[in-house]
A and B are shown apart, each in its own frame.
Chain A
Amino acid sequence: DGGITQSPKYLFRKEGQNVTLSCEQNLNHDAMYWYRQDPGQGLRLIYYSQIVNDFQKGDIAEGYSVSREKKESFPLTVTSAQKNPTAFYLCASSIRAANEQFFGPGTRLTVL
């Protein structure tokens, strides 16, 4: 059963904490992406990776970090430097850059 999984579904963070969101895909896709969605807003690109061991900043990378040590995995860390992290976080993958992207179910992060 191929697809993209994200965990956890809901995450609560205290002020000053770092948290890591998981994204795994078994579609054998080269490219993976992290987006943030705020109410009434479009998707904003945080980071993307077109190949293992390489990743690039998107439009709103400040306060976030990623790694791409395996083709299947692209975890996102929301650091304490991100001042307004409450949002819906979406991971996506595509067979290659510029191809259609497929999304995981998302993680809803709330800062307490």
Chain B
Amino acid sequence: QKEVEQNSGPLSVPEGAIASLNCTYSDRGSQSFFWYRQYSGKSPELIMFIYSNGDKEDGRFTAQLNKASQYVSLLIRDSQPSDSATYLCAVNGGGGSQGNLIFGKGTKLSVKP
């Protein structure tokens, strides 16, 4: 069974700090990795995707991928109260799954003013 694991949190950080969200996955064949943000009662919104080992930066967000360790993370710099949400990690299933995404259960982030 292919799995994506995330710490459910809640992760609480003060405003202005760096929030670090982590995700591990079980399928070594996975090639694509995604981070979604989901506000309470709303649908997920894509914020980052990464395909290659290393870092990818987009504004205050940095995605980090380490395929050897089967680990992907999301850093949020200068965290704002508006960043308070649940962050979902999704991994392309690879192999015979025809490209379907496998989602973790999400990490709830709370940014305190």
Chain A residues at the B interface, C-beta cutoff of 8 Å: 31, 33, 35, 40-43, 45, 48, 50, 56, 58, 90, 96-106
Closest to B1 in A: A59
Closest to A43 in B: B103
> 15 pairs across A/B with beta carbons < 8 Å?
A31-B99, A33-B100, A42-B104, A43-B88, A50-B98, A56-B98, A97-B98, A97-B99, A100-B34, A102-B46, A103-B43, A103-B44, A103-B45, A105-B43, A106-B43
B92: A residues at CB distance < 8 A:
98
Question: B31 near A: Cβ within 8 Å?
Answer: yes
Please give the distance in Å from A48's CB to the nearest CB on chain B: 6
Chain B residues at the A interface, C-beta cutoff of 8 Å: 4, 8, 31-32, 34, 36, 42-46, 49, 88, 90, 92, 98-101, 103-106
Q: Is the CB of B46 within 8 A of A97?
A: no
Give the complex CA separation of A96 and B92 in angstroms: 12
Q: Is the CB of B31 within 8 A of A42?
A: no
Q: CB < 8 Å: which of A45, A50, A90, A100 contacts B43? A: A90
The verdict on A42 contacting B103 (CB below 8 Å), with A97-B98, A98-B31 known, is: yes
Give the complex CA separation of A50 and B100 in angstroms: 10
Q: Is the CB of A58 within 8 A of B45?
A: no
Closest to A103 in B: B43
A98: B residues at CB distance < 8 A:
31-32, 92, 98-99
B99: A residues at CB distance < 8 A:
31, 96-99
The verdict on A105 contacting B42 (CB below 8 Å), with A41-B105, A43-B88, A100-B49 known, is: yes
